Amino acid sequence: MISSLLDHEQLPAFDARFESSKTSERCILIPVINEGERILQQLQAMRAANFGLDIVIVDGGSTDGSMEAGRLKDELGVNTLLLKTGPGKLSAQLRIGMAWALSRGY
């Protein structure tokens, strides 16, 4: 069942910009598109609060520079950055993120 979740005929196309090893049994999925400073500030606050969750971002195609992989991973503690490259909007991003998370055992 889980392998079928990542069947690319069922999901919009996406790429993993980076994926880190799991550090928690749970993750938080954050769909974004052009959130700018708001998402960066939120990620800083989440890192400072140390919730103990892996942060997985599903980007819908941001063009504002906020999804720079190095900063997200190294400075803000994001575990994984997925980029939706196929059609669809927020629901497509959520489907990608949930299927990916289940396939990783979250």
Q: What percent of the chain has pLDDT over 90?
A: 90
pLDDT digits (tens, 9 = 90+) for 82-96: 999 999 999 999 999
Sort 71 into a burial class: Cβ within 10 Å, 0-12 / 13-18 / 19+.
middle
Pairing of strands 14-19, 27-32: unpaired
Tokens of 82: 């997925």
Residue 70: what are its φ and ψ, rounded to 5°? -60, -45
CB atoms within 10 A of CB 1: 5
Whether 63 has a pLDDT exceeding 80, the answer reads yes
Determine contact, residues 30/99, Cβ cutoff 8 Å.
no
Confidence of residue 6 (pLDDT cuts 50, 70, 90): low
Tokens of 3: 């392998």
pTM: 0.90
